[in-house]
C-alpha cells in the first residue's frame, strides 16, 4: 500500500487539528481512502452546533469542503523519535 500526505491547502486554515504539524501521513489504498480516514479521525466539531446538531458537519469539519485538503502520494515517513 502506498503512503499519502494529507495537508490543508491553506497552511493557516484554522480547521487544521494538528498544530505544529504541516501534514499527516497515512498508509492507505488510495487518495480518497486517505481523505476519508483523516476526516474520520479528525472530525473537528463533530456535532455541528446547537442550532444544527448534524453529525460530522460542524464548522471545523473538512467534510463539507473537499478542496480545502490536498492529498498526495509520498514516501514512507521516518520512524518517530523517542
Residues 46-62 pLDDT 10s: 555 556 556 655 556 77
Residues 31-49 pLDDT 10s: 999 999 998 887 765 555 5
Task: Give the Cα separation of 43 and 65 in Å (integer).
Answer: 12
Given this model, what pLDDT does residue 16 score?
84
- Separation in Å, CA 68 to CA 1, 2, 9: 25, 22, 5
42 φ/ψ sector (left φ>0, alpha ψ -120 to 50, else beta): beta
Amino acid at each position: 500500500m502506498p503512503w499519502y500526505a494529507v495537508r490543508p491547502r491553506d497552511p493557516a486554515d484554522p480547521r487544521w487539528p494538528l498544530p505544529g504539524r504541516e501534514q499527516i501521513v497515512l498508509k492507505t489504498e488510495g487518495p480518497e481512502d486517505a481523505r476519508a480516514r483523516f476526516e474520520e479521525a479528525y472530525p473537528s466539531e463533530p456535532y455541528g452546533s446547537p442550532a444544527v446538531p448534524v453529525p460530522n458537519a460542524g464548522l471545523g469539519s473538512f467534510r463539507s469542503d473537499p478542496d480545502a485538503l490536498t492529498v498526495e502520494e509520498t514516501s514512507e515517513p521516518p520512524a518517530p523519535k523517542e
